[in-house]
């Protein structure tokens, strides 16, 4: 039996997302980080998640122009990376979604490697979309090296010829749009969850791909970071978590976010 908790514009469900997703209406965005490749221990009762099945269930729930931010990485087993992330991305495409962008989460803290490979310092943030994304609010916080100078240069054409860039002569602004690789520090509070999402990740993607009043879903709610960001940014939110101890943590955090304010939340976790 599913237990629902309502906190302002947030609805949180204690149950299995595979049972709950088909009962939901359309959502504008999914921002989630599923358990992947057994890289973390999520409790004695946890026996893994069929992420391909979840993607199949999510695809029909995405409104036209809606997106899924799917944060995953690969384990190394028997000397080889599993490639699980790529299989998930290809499966999403088979379900009719576009692979709109392959974004990278660059970690400031990295895992120590084996003696035969470099430091592992990134994860994927696949952006799947149902058609062309209806919303894109680019974050412009990248310092432009050439700020104050006039744009110049050429683009190479398919036939090899060079063509002047369309913005030639335009003055370069001080702050430019981010690249699709984001350097983030995961300094999330110690909630007892083994793999909390960086608040910057949830906040950045909600800001980029949704507008106030849109519905954001996280089918793997965990400690509730996506819900915290969504509530503070004026989005409607649906979160699903099957582990009672993590569900309770998420409820408390989202209740606290509802009472506090965006300044408090960003200051604590950004």
pTM of the model: 0.88
β-pairing verdict for 27-32 and 215-218: parallel
DSSP one-letter code for 169: T
Is 126 in contact with 92 (CB distance < 8 Å)?
A: yes
In this prediction, residue 270 carries a pLDDT of: 31
Indicate whether 224 and 168 sit together in one domain: no
Tokens in use for 66? 């809606």
Number of folded domains that form the chain: 2
Indicate whether 76 and 199 sit together in one domain: yes
In this prediction, residue 219 carries a pLDDT of: 98
Indicate whether 169 and 239 sit together in one domain: no
DSSP one-letter code for 170: P
In this prediction, residue 45 carries a pLDDT of: 52
In this prediction, residue 43 carries a pLDDT of: 54
In this prediction, residue 115 carries a pLDDT of: 79
Reading the chain (270 residues) residue by residue, the pLDDT tens digits are 899 999 999 999 999 999 999 999 999 999 999 987 665 554 555 557 899 999 999 999 999 999 999 999 998 888 899 999 999 999 999 999 999 999 999 998 776 667 788 888 899 999 999 999 999 999 999 998 888 898 888 888 999 898 988 888 888 888 999 999 999 987 766 666 667 899 999 999 999 999 999 999 999 999 999 999 999 999 999 999 999 999 999 999 999 998 876 544 443 333
* Residue 88 buriedness (CB in 10 A; 0-12 / 13-18 / 19+): buried
Indicate whether 133 and 258 sit together in one domain: yes
Indicate whether 48 and 165 sit together in one domain: no
Alpha helices, DSSP H only, in the chain?
Answer: 17-20, 51-58, 84-94, 199-209, 225-232, 244-259, 262-269
The range of the structural domain enclosing residue 224 comes to: 3-139+179-269
In this prediction, residue 145 carries a pLDDT of: 87
């Amino acid at each position: 039996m599913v237990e629902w908790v309502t906190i302002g514009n947030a609805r949180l469900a204690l149950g299995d997302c595979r049972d709950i997703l088909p009962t939901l209406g359309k959502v504008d965005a999914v921002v989630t980080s599923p358990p992947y490749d057994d890289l973390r221990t999520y409790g004695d009762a946890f026996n893994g998640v069929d992420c391909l099945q979840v993607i199949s269930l999510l695809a029909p729930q995405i409104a036209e122009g809606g997106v899924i931010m799917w944060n995953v990485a690969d384990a190394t087993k028997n000397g080889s990376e599993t490639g699980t992330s790529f299989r998930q991305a290809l499966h999403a495409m088979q379900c009719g979604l576009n692979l709109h962008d392959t974004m990278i989460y660059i970690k400031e803290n990295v895992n120590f490697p084996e003696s035969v490979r470099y430091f592992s310092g990134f994860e994927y943030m696949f952006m799947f979309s149902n058609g062309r994304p209806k919303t894109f609010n680019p974050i412009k916080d990248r310092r432009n090296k050439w700020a104050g100078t006039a744009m110049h240069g050429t683009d190479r054409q398919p036939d090899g010829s060079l063509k002047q860039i369309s913005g030639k002569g335009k003055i370069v602004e001080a702050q430019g749009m981010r690249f699709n690789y984001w350097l983030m520090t995961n300094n999330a509070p110690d909630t007892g969850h083994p793999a909390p999402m960086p608040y910057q990740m949830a906040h950045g993607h909600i800001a980029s791909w949704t507008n106030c009043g849109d519905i954001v879903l996280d089918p793997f709610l965990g400690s509730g970071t996506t819900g915290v960001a969504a509530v503070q940014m004026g989005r409607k939110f649906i979160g699903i978590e099957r582990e009672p101890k993590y569900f309770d943590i998420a409820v408390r955090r989202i209740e606290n976010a509802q009472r506090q304010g965006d300044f408090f939340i960003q200051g604590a976790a950004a």
